[in-house]
């Protein structure tokens, strides 16, 4: 392969270092099509026009830019990410990023580093944050399983054990998500002026959209009469078994806890953290003006910060996780003895 310098590589492709990855990729493909024998208009290939050499040069230049971008993004991301960590987090987690030019890889992500990194909407895609926390939860369970003598939990065919394992991992995952998110900081970064409003007392309220009701469970759906009863009225939201629910008083004076799901997944984890520590009051009003569906309705959500200092903080020291993992290890020891 031709050893092109970084500057020469950009010159060969006819692009600038400041160009986005998509532009560089598009230019590379245009040049490959231009110099490929099949791209000749007459369908004839002249050995003297050195197309093979040009293709090798273009390919080598593109590979040089990809390698350089890989190294630069990894080093730059690690320096940036290391600035913000939560020293009280229960464990470390991985920090991932997307490649701009490496779409040929099976997974278009790379590891920036490992640490107690706080999630930053400007630096990390939320889906990669969830992947990272889920992996951390899995590693914590694996440590306890090995201490109990279980080295391959997937080989255990006991359905009750697998069900317990799944539920423990889910609870540990939810506890961990709160340790790497500063709710108020995330809300400030995610919501611009158009999504904020101020109360008479000067408190900021953040506005978002969600859906009320769950078609997968008959008990969590709303009948047409119930929808009409709660439409346009603000009702408080509460946490129930890691679910955020609209506490609606419906026809007949009865109360219904109806789960709501946010249009932006990250908002669920942010509001959940605020509700669990009573740092915010969250209200929702069902509207009928758009996107009505069977069993659920669109909801306008308003997040009113009550305790700014608490809203800035991340999750606690992890005693819930320690207790959860301790109980799980005892279960694993019982299962391990029976193998």
The answer as to whether 265 is a domain residue is yes
The answer as to whether 323 is a domain residue is no
What kind and span of H or E run contains 211?
strand 204-212
Contacts for 125 with CB less than 8 Å, ≥ 6 apart = 98
Q: What is the pLDDT of residue 1?
A: 39
The answer as to whether 223 is a domain residue is yes
User: With contact defined as beta carbons under 8 Å apart, do 76 and 22 qualify?
Assistant: no
Q: What is the pLDDT of residue 290?
A: 47
Q: What is the CATH number of the domain that holds 58?
A: 1.10.287.110
- Compute CA 2 distance to the chain's CA centroid, rounded to the nearest angstrom: 40
pLDDT of the chain, 339 residues: tens digit per residue: 344 477 888 888 888 877 767 678 788 888 888 887 665 544 454 555 677 788 888 888 888 877 666 555 555 555 554 557 888 899 999 988 776 554 444 456 777 788 899 998 888 889 999 999 999 999 999 999 999 989 888 888 888 999 999 999 999 999 999 899 988 888 888 876 666 766 666 567 777 777 777 655 556 666 666 666 777 778 888 888 778 888 877 666 667 788 888 878 888 888 888 888 888 888 888 776 544 555 567 888 888 888 888 888 877 668 889 999 999 999 999 887 665
Query: Which structural domain, as residue segments, surrounds residue 119?
Result: 93-181
278 and 193 together in one domain: yes
Q: How many domains does the chain have?
A: 3
72 and 97 together in one domain: no
- Compute CA 290 distance to the chain's CA centroid, rounded to the nearest angstrom: 27
Question: Among 133, 125, 116, which Cα is nearest to 174's?
Answer: 133
Beta-strand relationship, 204-212 and 234-240: unpaired
User: With contact defined as beta carbons under 8 Å apart, do 147 and 329 qualify?
Assistant: yes
Show which of 81, 110, 135 is a domain's final residue: 81
Q: What is the pLDDT of residue 106?
A: 44
Burial class of 85 by CB neighbour count within 10 A (0 to 12, 13 to 18, 19+): middle
98 and 200 together in one domain: no
282 and 305 together in one domain: yes
61 and 174 together in one domain: no
158 and 263 together in one domain: no
243 and 300 together in one domain: yes
Show which of 131, 146, 181 is a domain's final residue: 181
Q: What is the pLDDT of residue 193?
A: 64
User: With contact defined as beta carbons under 8 Å apart, do 90 and 179 qualify?
Assistant: yes
* Cα 261 from Cα 210, distance rounded (Å): 5
Show which of 41, 59, 81 is a domain's final residue: 81
The answer as to whether 326 is a domain residue is no
Q: What is the pLDDT of residue 105?
A: 47
The answer as to whether 69 is a domain residue is yes
């Amino acid at each position: 392969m031709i050893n092109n310098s970084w500057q020469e590589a950009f010159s060969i492709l006819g692009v600038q270092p400041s160009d986005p990855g998509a532009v560089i990729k598009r230019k590379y493909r245009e040049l490959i099509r231009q110099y490929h024998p099949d791209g000749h208009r007459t369908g004839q290939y002249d050995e003297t026009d050195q197309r093979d050499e040009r293709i090798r040069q273009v390919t080598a230049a593109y590979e040089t830019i990809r390698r350089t971008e890989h190294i630069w993004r990894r080093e730059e991301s690690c320096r940036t990410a290391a600035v913000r960590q939560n020293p009280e987090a229960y464990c470390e987690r991985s920090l991932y990023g997307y490649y701009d030019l490496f779409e040929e890889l099976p997974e278009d992500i790379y590891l920036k580093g490992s640490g107690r990194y706080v999630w930053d909407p400007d630096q990390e895609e939320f889906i990669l944050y969830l992947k990272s926390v889920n992996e951390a939860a899995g590693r914590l369970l694996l440590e306890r399983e090995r201490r109990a003598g279980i080295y391959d939990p997937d080989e255990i065919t006991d359905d009750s054990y697998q069900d317990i394992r799944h539920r423990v991992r889910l609870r540990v995952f939810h506890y961990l998500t709160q340790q790497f998110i500063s709710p108020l900081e995330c809300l400030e970064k995610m919501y611009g002026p158009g999504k904020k409003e101020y109360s008479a007392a000067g408190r900021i309220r953040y506005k978002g959209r969600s859906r009320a009701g769950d078609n997968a469970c008959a008990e969590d759906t709303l009948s047409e009469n119930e929808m009409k009863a709660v439409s346009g009225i603000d009702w408080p939201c509460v946490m129930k078994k890691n679910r955020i629910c609209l506490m609606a008083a419906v026809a007949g004076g009865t109360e219904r806890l109806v789960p709501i799901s946010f249009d932006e997944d990250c908002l669920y984890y942010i509001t959940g953290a605020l509700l669990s520590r009573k740092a915010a009051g969250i209200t929702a009003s069902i509207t009928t003006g758009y996107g009505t569906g069977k069993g659920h309705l669109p909801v306008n959500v308003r997040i009113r910060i009550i305790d700014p200092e608490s809203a800035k903080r991340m999750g606690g020291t992890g005693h819930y996780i320690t207790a959860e993992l301790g109980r799980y290890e005892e279960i694993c020891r019982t299962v391990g003895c029976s193998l």
